[in-house]
Amino acid sequence: MRYVDLTSLEKYVIEPESISNDEKLKKIFYNTIIKCKETYDVLREHGIPPEDARFVLPISTETKIAMTMNARELRHFFTLRCCLRAQWEIRELANRILHVCKSVAPVLFENAGPSCVRLGYCPEAELTCGKMEQVLENYRNKS
């Protein structure tokens, strides 16, 4: 977030199921974000570089990224990040990108997705999500 404009800290991510349905938790969350932003501003006013001051900001602070990947790396990214064991936010992004890739280059991304889609089995062993059949069916229906 070194080059991110943080003059207003209005955009942050909330996992809908864990915070947004609980008013008490939302209030705690918002108050914490406000305090973090105030601390960031004080540090910046005292000449602390943005790359150092940012350490007090919540990890949920929205930021923009740009990334480039070739088809091989995209397929690898989908293998890791479309998996149900991936963090929900990156999984949602990976699935959106996969949808675009399948519409642009359907042959290249025909069986792209989590490992179980590509391999036909889950390589996670005891760490598996236990929902391989459901995942496979879901990806078959989207194709």
DSSP for the chain reads -TT---S----B---IIIIIT-HHHHHHHHHHHHHHHHHHHHHHHTT--HHHHGGGS-TTB---------HHHHHHHHHHHSSTTS-HHHHHHHHHHHHHHHHH-TTTTTT-SSHHHHHSS-TTGGG--S-HHHHHHHHHHH-
pLDDT at 15: 64
pLDDT bucket at 21, cuts 50 / 70 / 90 = confident
pLDDT of residue 7: 64
Q: State the catalytic residue, choosing from 44, 81, 85, 118.
A: 81
81 catalytic? Reply is yes
Instruction: Output the pLDDT for position 104.
Output: 96
Residue 19 has what pLDDT?
A: 83
Q: Which residue has the higher pLDDT, 100 or 59?
A: 100
Q: What is the pLDDT of residue 9?
A: 63
pLDDT surpassing 80 at residue 4: no
Q: Is the pLDDT of residue 14 over 80?
A: no
Query: pLDDT tens, 82-91?
Result: 998 888 888 9
